[in-house]
Amino acid sequence: MSGSHRARKDAPRALSIFLVSLLVIAVIGALGAWGYVGLARRAEALLTVAPTPPALTPATSASPIRPRDRVGASQATNLERKGSLVIHATGDVSLDPNWNTTFKTEGYEFAWSGLEGLFARDDLTIVNMECPVTNEGSAVTKEFTFRCDPKALGAARKAGVEVANLGNNHSQDFGKEAMLDSRQNLIDARIAPVGAGKDAAEANEPALFDIKGWKVAVLGFGGVLPSDSWLATKNTPGMANGDDIGSMTKAIKAAKKQADIVLVMIHWGVELDTQPTPEDVKRAYAMIDAGADAIFGGHSHRLQPMETYEGKPIFYSLGNFVWPNNSVEGATTAVAEVTIRPNGLVRGRMLPAFITAPGHPELRGRSEEKNR
């Protein structure tokens, strides 16, 4: 009796549960796209009162992009935005009107008028400024001393020159103070000086440029000096040491941390030689291994060959450029051209030129590229 009574008393509740289950099944069948779990929870809500959910906190909200993900995305965007670069470099440049006498009659624009606007169309132009650009100081005792006219810098900048290397055997022809004045005159003319400074740290500092999505660093080094006193030290002005592989590679590695591309202009070699010395080849390889992407050499007053090492061009000597045309050999020259593709591929070539009058180089065989 008691069992039958309990069964009858529980029947309505069992029936209710049964009917609710049928309802759940029907809803699931009709709206299966909603997903079983979500519907089951809704069905459960028909029988019970759901607890109030806790307030959301940053830890339980949607997962944010991690900082390194954002950096990665930014880097990818920068890579996509990088454009092709065209960079030019030249050998020795003297803006001394007593050395290149044509400037007195033709003006300083004459130095660049035979280049068909090449440097104005490229992305960066680097020259070896083989003289102090200053009116300060007195000539030191040496066989040849040059002094460039600061008034000539406006024409050089207008022609497209952006960087001048002072790491050479003429930048201190009128003393260290004149060299520092030269450095400041270049800065005032919006031409970046490299290779010399008030101390070794400044002399080894790169000039930095942001161009088409690239960070480009340019370094200058000076070897073959009249005296070790021309070298910059921790506390004295002078030039970056172009004879010391250790200090050069250190400066290149430091520049590489700041830039995507590192370019080096160096004063080395033997005057009138048409081939690089084994020591200079060793230095060049060490600089490329340290992170340099192209090397532009000078001092021999003769054009020397270009070599590619580890995919990077080395121009051992670019000879004379804005210079007197004293001989056919000395007047035969070239402009180094380096192209860098968005994928980082580096290519170098030499554009033939000839100094047809004192201080007046002219490009040769480029008529087909005038509108490049």
Higher pLDDT, residue 144 or 36: 144
Residue 56 clears pLDDT 90, i.e. is over it: no
User: Is pLDDT at 331 greater than 50 in this prediction?
Assistant: yes
Cβ partners under 8 Å of residue 98, min gap 6 = 147
Q: What is the pLDDT of residues 78-101, one digit of tens each?
A: 445 899 999 999 999 999 999 999
Please provide the average confidence, as pLDDT, over all residues in the chain. 83
pLDDT tens, residue by residue, 1-18: 434 333 433 444 444 444
Q: Which of 23-37, 45-59, 89-103, 348-362 has the lowest mean pLDDT?
A: 45-59
Where residue 366 falls among pLDDT bands split at 50, 70, 90?
low
Separation CA 156–CA 141 (nearest Å): 29
pLDDT (tens digit per residue) in 288-310: 999 999 999 999 999 999 999 99
Mean pLDDT of 257-279: 97
Residue 250 pLDDT > 70: yes
Query: What CATH superfamily classification does 77-365 receive?
Result: Metallo-dependent phosphatases (3.60.21.10)
Q: What does the pLDDT read at residue 2?
A: 38
Question: No. of H helices and E strands in the chain?
Answer: 11, 16
Reported as type and span, the H/E element at residue 304 is none
Q: Report domain extents, the chain.
A: 1-52, 77-365
What is the DSSP pairing of strand 124-129 with strand 85-93? parallel
pLDDT tops 80 at residue 65: no
Q: What is the pLDDT of residues 185-204, one digit of tens each?
A: 999 999 999 999 999 999 99
Calculate the dihedral angle through the C-alpha atoms of 91, 96, 101, 102, rounding to the nearest 10 degrees. Answer: 60
